[in-house]
Amino acid sequence: MIEKLAEIRKKIDEIDSQILKLIAERNSLAKDVAKIKNELGIPINDPDREKYIYNRIRKLCKEHNVDEDIGIKIFQILIEHNKFLQKKYLQETQHKNKKL
Ligand SMILES: C=C(O[C@@H]1C=C(C(=O)O)C=C[C@H]1O)C(=O)O
């Protein structure tokens, strides 16, 4: 029984590692998005795109039998963090450009 618990926990640890890698990959795209938006002169915040993502997440939650509220909460955190990273990146590049 205790061995079975250890085996399940090993699987959970592996899944957690995968989730974290994917979060890092999602976060790493923030710079690229921020650069393009800055060049196009459009805002970081895009409520229409967020609406699309939340609807898609709701659908995926249903398909995979994941609680919708949990799915939405997770993506709210990821999206807010992505916007924070975009703002941080733009502030840093603007700061660097001022120094030049
Ligand atoms: C990444 C983007 O910027 C913001 C962050 C989003 C996200 O993390 O998915 C979605 C919409 C925008 O508010 C984007 O516009 O695609």
C-alpha 66/C-alpha 75 separation (Å) is: 13
- pLDDT, one tens digit per residue, over 69-89 is 999 999 999 999 999 999 999
Domains of the chain: 2-99 (1.20.59.10)
Closest ligand 1 atom, CA of 82? 8
- pLDDT, one tens digit per residue, over 12-26 is 999 999 999 999 999
- pLDDT, one tens digit per residue, over 15-72 is 999 999 999 999 999 999 999 999 999 999 999 999 999 999 999 999 999 999 999 9
Q: 79 CB less than 6 Å from ligand 1?
A: yes
Q: Where are the alpha helices (DSSP H) in 1-100?
A: 2-40, 47-63, 68-99
Cα(79) to ligand 1 centroid in Å equals 6
Confidence band for 3, pLDDT divided at 50, 70 and 90: very high
Q: 46 CB less than 6 Å from ligand 1?
A: yes
ipTM over 0.95: yes
CA neighbor of 33 nearest in space, from 98, 87, 92: 87
Residue-level pLDDT at 100: 61
Cα(30) to ligand 1 centroid in Å equals 8
Cα(73) to ligand 1 centroid in Å equals 15
